[in-house]
Amino acid sequence: MLKYIARRVLWLIPVLLAVAFITFSLMHLVPGGPWDMEKQLAPQVVENLNRKYNLDKPFAIQFASFVWNAVRGDLGVSYSYQDQGVTQILLRGLPITAGLGAVAFLISVVIGIPLGIAAALKQNATIDYISVFFSTIFANVPGFVLGILFIIVFSVTLHVLPAGGWGSVKQVILPAFALAALPAAYIARVTRASMLEVKRQDYVRTAQAKGLAGRVIVVRHMLRNALIPVMTIAGPELAALVAGSFIIESLFSIPGIGRLFVQGVFARDYGLIMGTILFYALAVALVNLVVDILYAVVDPRIRYE
């Protein structure tokens, strides 16, 4: 197991390098630059700024310099935040984004798994139709559409919840549910399908023939084996939620990493864009590693050699 983990961690190096190179290349291929503003700067000012931030150097030198500094924990400075360090800016937004993502993930699991289990145990019953309807609707409705709908209903019409901001429990509710709807629908769908497959296995019928209680059969024999496909999709969903939802954070004016990324894209803030993309890639890779390790915990038959 330790060798497997070490090998996966070492694989992070080429993965992050590839992500950094692709992102860096796309940023320089897109027309425009960080100094393209509504009020055009004088050519001499632009030249001085490019020299200050090493943007006048060849592409290869710029990328090599960025990688060397990133290895030492320095992601550069932000052009749109008055020369503040990108690392410090991301660290300020990380607790907000991680907190919102964790709440949204918890909501999606609390809704999705029980709904999928109930639908599988009561196949073709009312709860099954409700589960399928829920999964179909919310799996196809974008989060920002739900967010706008929530604002119209609960903020503008009913005046019971704030439309944005951060700092109170009420301000977490709408963006958290808007984020949780899509992963909850996927989790419910996969849980239902996995439970139906496990339900037909011989060892489940054997447990039923022995007269074991229904709750014992579900928890000890069915749920544990059915959780593996659920974990496969829940891991990336957790990484996506914790790393930040760009549109939802912008929609609800939440000062997290997702909103910083959107602002960085519009401002052509190269350092901020690179920092958020690398953070997202690292989060996805680490969560996938944790999920692979948990496979062996949930199912003792799985071993990594």
Q: What is the pLDDT of residues 148-198, one digit of tens each?
A: 999 999 999 998 999 888 888 999 999 999 999 989 999 999 999 888 888
Instruction: Tell me the per-residue pLDDT of 93-137, one tens digit each, with 9 for 90 and over.
Output: 888 888 898 899 999 999 999 999 999 888 889 998 998 899 889
d(CA 160, CA 179): 19
Q: Tokens 């496979």 appear where?
A: 295
Beta bridge partners of 85: 77
Mean pLDDT of the region 40-52: 78
Identify which of 27, 101, 26, 77 has the alpha carbon closest to the alpha carbon of residue 258: 101
Judge whether residue 299 has pLDDT over 70.
Answer: no
Extended strands (E) in 129-248: none
81 contact partners, CB below 8 Å, separation of at least 6: 89, 269, 272
Instruction: Tell me the per-residue pLDDT of 246-290, one tens digit each, with 9 for 90 and over.
Output: 788 888 988 888 888 888 888 888 888 888 888 888 888 888 788
Q: What integer pLDDT is reported at residue 108 of this predicted model? A: 92
Q: What integer pLDDT is reported at residue 300 of this predicted model? A: 61
d(CA 223, CA 89): 42
Q: What integer pLDDT is reported at residue 22 of this predicted model? A: 92
d(CA 256, CA 276): 11
Judge whether residue 64 has pLDDT over 80.
Answer: yes
Q: What integer pLDDT is reported at residue 240 of this predicted model? A: 75
d(CA 286, CA 58): 33
Q: What integer pLDDT is reported at residue 139 of this predicted model? A: 86
Q: Is the dihedral of CA 200, 206, 207, 210 positive or negative?
A: positive
Contacts by 1-4, CB closer than 8 A, 24 or more apart: 1/293, 1/296, 1/304, 4/304, 4/305
Q: Fold for domain 91-260? A: MetI-like fold (1.10.3720)
Q: What integer pLDDT is reported at residue 38 of this predicted model? A: 58
Mean pLDDT of the region 26-52: 76
Instruction: Tell me the per-residue pLDDT of 194-243, one tens digit each, with 9 for 90 and over.
Output: 888 888 777 777 777 777 777 777 777 787 778 878 887 887 777 777 76
Q: Which residues of 139-169 are buried (b: 16+ CB within 10 A; e: fewer)?
A: eeeebbebbeebbeebbeeeeeebbbebeee
Judge whether residue 88 has pLDDT over 80.
Answer: yes
Q: What integer pLDDT is reported at residue 304 of this predicted model? A: 58
d(CA 218, CA 264): 48
Identify which of 110, 141, 114 has the alpha carbon closest to the alpha carbon of residue 127: 114
Q: What integer pLDDT is reported at residue 39 of this predicted model? A: 66
d(CA 27, CA 25): 5
pTM (two decimals): 0.81
Confidence of residue 303 (pLDDT cuts 50, 70, 90): low
- The type of residue at 62 is Q
d(CA 257, CA 78): 14
Q: Is 298 exposed, middle or buried (0-12, 13-18, 19+ CB in 10 A)?
A: middle
Q: Is the dihedral of CA 180, 256, 266, 152 positive or negative?
A: positive
Q: What integer pLDDT is reported at residue 148 of this predicted model? A: 92
